[in-house]
Amino acid sequence: MADLARVLAEVVPSAHYVGGIVRGSLMRKDSSDIDLALPPQDVKPAALVLAKKLKAAAFEMDAEFGVWRLVTHKDKVQIDLTSYQGKDLKADLLRRDFAFNSLAYPVSAVPEIQIKKQKNGTAKIRLTKLKKDLIVDLSGGLADVSAKVIRMNNPRVFKDDPLRMLRAFRSAAELGFSIDEKTLKQIKKDAALIVQPAGERVQEELQRLFSTSKAYENLILMDKYGLLTALFPELEPQRTCAEVYYGKGGVLKHTLDVFRRMEYLLDNLPKAFSKYAKKLAPVAVSKPLFKMAALLHDVAKPATAKVQGDRLRFFYHEEKGAKMAKVILERLHYSRADMRLICAMIGEHLRPSNLASNDIITDRGAFHFFRDLGEAGVPMLLLCWADYASYVTDAQLKRILPKSADRMLTIAQAQKTANIGKTLRHMQVLNLLLKKFFDQPKKVRPARIITGRDVMDVLALPPSPKIGEILDAVADAQVDGTVTDRESALAFLKTLDLRGQHVHPSKK
């Protein structure tokens, strides 16, 4: 589509390239689409003519704001045509959120357009050979791009659309920019407005923020200027909870430390799990979900905090936390599948610690763990790693990581070095569980060798929940080696004592 710029200049000579395509091109970065701003009366006619000339699908995206979208059939280039938000281009640019997004370039100047097709079928686009003297810059956006600064266009930008506050931090994380002090102070004044945008819009910004490697530092800044707990009011009680244990900042400090460790882990899997990094990579692509789980994993600690003797305890905080997390995620319109995964991770995140309370992790214990957790089993191990790693310093973490795949320390050995030993042992437990999962699947994920129908036929039982219990007992026997094939499984059925509430092998 070498002549795209020429076709645009012929059909919409009064239009301007605006927003991300201009800023990104100046930074030599690709954009996912082309945004054009033009007079309201020109939008629909231009969209229909361009659709024909470019062999593109065209449809109205937003009738209220006058937005039409085109997607070319061949290269999948996305072009959005938008009416001026104001009487003219100047008014439109000054209404935009940040100065670096308020740049425009005339379509009539016919810049070169580079198009790169992606493996997923989309296109990446960049304008090249831009003439700086033709760039429309009414707010000092060029200087901000050069200085890598995010600066609001005017004090009303967040009142006009409160989501822009979150977008400031997301943009800072994605681009490696800083947010100027006046903008941050305005965010602090307007933070309470963040409850107004639709949940799915907030979720999209969070997903993009959490996809970066700079989410933690921006969360810290969000908290400093009041946006974090305005967005997640459930986290505010953490700030003064358990300060005697976690230090100033209480559970919230711990939560953010866990988030930081999760971000480190997802960016450095080979350092944490050297043998299984490649196998974990497909799981770890869900960075935003895992970081959200880290952010909410202890959300219920303040509500469950109780002093017992001389200790502060948080009984059942993981179960209550899963329920609280579900409410938060529903508010943000997360999918059912994503909510199920995050809530399972939160609701069971103490399970590895319970396993670690024994000197030996049995195959049966590992089998029950992965059976009960299902799809959340391996992801939850990553959450636990981040949780355990939050209790040691960066230097200590660097020192123990090479030992985390070693033979597991005994409880007595771990206790000799306080937190460092306990953390190392817990990491060794996680490595052991991954070893059993990936290297010994027959022991922790045994294939079912008989069916519920087999159970009913052999034992003359009607359909009932007990059939599932019996199949679980057979799976336990597979893990123990008592059952190895279909024949031995059918024989094992006849040894079961079915009289009690739970099925177990008969002692007769």
44-75, pLDDT tens digit by residue? 999 999 999 999 999 998 888 889 999 999 88
Give tens-digit pLDDT for 361-411. 888 888 889 988 989 999 999 999 999 999 999 999 999 999 999 999 998
256 to each of 202, 213, 218, 239, how far by Cα in Å? 20, 14, 11, 11
Q: Check whether 76 has a pLDDT greater than 80.
A: yes
End-to-end CA distance of the chain: 80
Over the stretch 302-361, which tens digit does the pLDDT of each residue have? 999 998 887 888 999 999 999 999 999 999 999 999 999 999 999 999 999 888 888 888
Distance CA 112, CA 109 (A): 10
H or E element that contains 313: strand 311-314
Burial 459-488 (b: 16+ CB within 10 A, else e): eeeeeeebbebbbebbbbbbbeeebeeeee
pLDDT at 508: 47
b/e code 224-239 from CB counts within 10 Å (16+ = b): ebbbbbbbbebbebbb
305-308 and 123-128 beta bridge pairing = unpaired
Look over the chain and give the mean of its residue pLDDT values, rounded to a whole number.
92
